[in-house]
Structure 1
Amino acid sequence: MTIISFVYSDLKEKAGRLCLVCGFSLFFVFSFICNGMHLSELLYGIGLCNVRPDFLAVNTNGPPYIVAIDPGHGGMDTGALAIVKEYQVIDTTARALFDLLDADADFVPLFTRTDTDPSNDERAAAAASAGADLLISIHANSDSHSSSKGFECFAQPPGRIFHQQSYNFASFIVRQMAAAGHTIRGDEQKTGIKYAYYYGNDKRIVDSSDDKVRSRKSFGILEKSPCPRVLVEQCFITNHSDVENWATQTGCNRAAQAYYQAIKQYFSEI
């Protein structure tokens, strides 16, 4: 009887330990997912998956490629208001880019929103339902200092699915914008590529030279969309020079042409 009790007690203790380990493991995985990480990234990181998550769903079958154009603001959401309205810059640029892509047989463009106010989830779902291969979210910047100017591009942060593709696409965009004469913001290398993280309600922006993997969430559209994606800040609508060169019809057309060329380059190299 004593032996049976001992065996039962030992099994009960081991079962308790197993449940505790499983519980902590599930909590760990769930925490990563809720903080913007993906299970495929977690498995790859700890060696349980030998397929790099960046390459799990990239279209390498050739054209036509579906490109989602995400106007960052629209409808009742006008974005920032300064020398010009942000949503007007976005709308003009997005339509110009759509026309360029639509005229190219290699691409099928789509908008994630029209004149409505969908959430980040709904805009990402629109891209997903269309089977988008790439997404560009267009915004315009603003600052309390009117001297702030230039272009910057936010890629999906390190450790995220599609990070490398997102970074590559951002690099192509920055090069095209620089070639078009825009001022490129950033660190000493002036890469123009940045990462954004949220700590509660506080937003922290770092240059791409800071490649530390963080579990903090980035911009919603960069976290939610099911394909490589970037978010561009086309110009500062609080700076007269930026507005003149990049927020007028001519400036928006110039920016759209740069995005179009970057999209072509991205797909030519995957």
Structure 2
Amino acid sequence: MRLTRRILATLALATLALTPGDRAARAEEPVVVFAAASLKNALDDASAAWTRASGKTARVSYAGSNALAKQIEAGAPADLFISADLAWMDYVDRAGLLKTGSRIDFLRNALVLIAPGPKNGAADPQIALAPDLGTTLTRILGGGRLAMATIDAVPAGKYGKAALEKLGAWDAVKGQVAQAENVRAALLLVARDEAPLGIVYATDAAADPSVHVLATFPADSHPPIIYPAAVTKVSRNPDAGALLGYLRGPEARGFFERQGFTVVAQPGASQ
């Protein structure tokens, strides 16, 4: 009996000793962020600045928003999800996988038509997005391909298809579309001169000097390009909310604006 009491007492002391350490260890774990591929440059810079300011770390995985949403649904241990469209955030939200009250509209973007090579004055005329856009695009494409993210799943691809349909050009080019797994993969096809044209976000084009913008699609030719962000329901990392707060705050704004994003003003935020 005496031995049993001694063992129980030892276990109790060990538990008390480990509990603060366990909590500290959890606090030191990196915040796992699942983010749309188009965020890479700006989010890498912003998360590095957060690390310098707070001493905390983030581990960011980039992919198409559709793939990330499916991974979260399958139980991937993400703390923070930043999607490139509302639909895939809605998908995760409907599954009950977001922390209540954490979701925000974070950023806005624009959609552009790009070609290989740096901009070079008169050699890079702006394409008029007119009713004969389909004819213009097929002429430039020749036998080449129009690089786009997957048109029925990845936000950039869905936006691009919607814009071409609205402008009456989809039927003319749909047979020449090269679909990539995410928008950065579509950008790479054009940057490598493997496709004469591509449709990507304005921020992607700004991040790669080996492509140039031929035209910006009118905002009313496609659904609004909004990047929502939220903490996941499974997150147990106390720093997840702190990181999201930092990203939406004034300290991080410049990283996103320099890449061409517009930071969405939050209710009650000072301008």
Q: What is the TM-score with the length of structure 2 in the denominator? A: 0.28
Q: Which structure's relative contact order is higher, taking Cα pairs within 8 Å and 6+ residues apart?
A: 2
Q: What is the TM-score with the length of structure 1 in the denominator? A: 0.29
